[in-house]
Structure 1
Amino acid sequence: MMSGLEAVLAEASSPSWMRRVRAGRDLASFADVPEAADVLVGLLDVEDTAVTRQTAETLARVGTVAAMKLIALAVAEAGANQADWLQTGVHDALVGPDGVPDIAAACGQLARDPEEAVRRGATEILAWTNDTRR
């Protein structure tokens, strides 16, 4: 029998975009678990914009350094269209009714990460948070 985490990891590769969105939401709180992080990075980098947007939003709502690092990596590697959907997901979290943890603080930490792609992506997300505050 599969554990709950294993079942969600398996659902992330479903042909159904709705199941992949649900998997992204369910996995976001496990961003610091390597197996979940690998799957979340894949969900942020898919052709299905709903999956990208919803996964980014949920990770931003979690707001931990581990969660924001995954978005930063995706942003650093994203083309223009994918970056737009990542930005939309982060924006949705920032303006949502529930509020979110301090994304800027997490990205500030990531701006000093040893990995250049993480620093670049975190800097871009910081710019998005500044745009939202205006």
Structure 2
Amino acid sequence: MVETTSGLRAALAEASAPEWSVRVRAARGLASFADVPEAGAALVGLLLDAADTAVTRRAAEALARVGTVAAVRILALAVAEADDSQADWMQTGVQDVMAEPDGAPGLAAVCGQLARDPQAAVRRGAAEISAWTDVTGC
């Protein structure tokens, strides 16, 4: 438990680093903590990174790879806030994961769950992600 907490704290600290590669590492580390509010807030910030599109893309990859409701909900919130360029890089990140042999098989089901989320931004973002996965019925 202590190791998990220290890993979360370290990743949260890295999320605001000036180096893009450190922020990417933070996104990868934080993705597994998507259900922790502080991690979620940091991840939205990384997805909407104004300084480097690599951070946006890799954060989207990390969350799609985790694929939990909490992880995809964060991605959906960011998609709803993103400008066109950010959304394009998030889409690329999601599609990178989908192209892998193991892909993200549960992503469509999670989008389906989020389509009923009480927050309109989450529903909009989930619909967009669903379109990226090219899966019907989500």
For the criterion TM > 0.5, the same-fold answer is yes
Structure 1 segments unaligned to the other structure (5+ residues) = none
Check the 8 A contact 2:7/2:29 in 1, yes or no: no
**Shift in Å, 1:69:** 0.4
| Residue 21 (structure 1) aligns with | 24
| Residue 126 (structure 1) aligns with | 130
The Cα offsets for residues 51-77 of structure 1, whole Å up to 9 and x where unpaired, read as 000000010000001000011011111
**Shift in Å, 1:5:** 1.4
Equivalent pairs counted in the alignment come to 130
The Cα offsets for residues 24-79 of structure 1, whole Å up to 9 and x where unpaired, read as 00110000011111100100011210000000001000000100001101111111
1:101 and 1:31 map into 2 onto residues whose CA distance is: 19
Q: Runs (4+) of structure 1 moved beyond 6 Å? A: none
Does residue 107 in structure 1 map to residue 111 in structure 2? yes
The one of 69, 78, 87 aligned to 1:83: 87
Give the % identical residues: 68
Corresponding letter in the other structure for 1:49: T
The one of 34, 38, 43 aligned to 2:37: 34
**Shift in Å, 1:96:** 1.4
Structure 2 segments unaligned to the other structure (5+ residues) = none
Check the 8 A contact 1:61/1:93 in 2, yes or no: yes
Alignment RMSD, CA only? 1.3
Q: Using structure 1 for the length normalisation, give the TM-score.
A: 0.93
Corresponding letter in the other structure for 1:21: V
**Shift in Å, 1:111:** 0.5
1:88 and 1:67 map into 2 onto residues whose CA distance is: 17
Q: Using structure 2 for the length normalisation, give the TM-score.
A: 0.90
The Cα offsets for residues 61-115 of structure 1, whole Å up to 9 and x where unpaired, read as 0000100001101111111111100100100111113322410100100000000
1:93 and 1:126 map into 2 onto residues whose CA distance is: 14
1:34 and 1:99 map into 2 onto residues whose CA distance is: 26
1:21 and 1:112 map into 2 onto residues whose CA distance is: 30
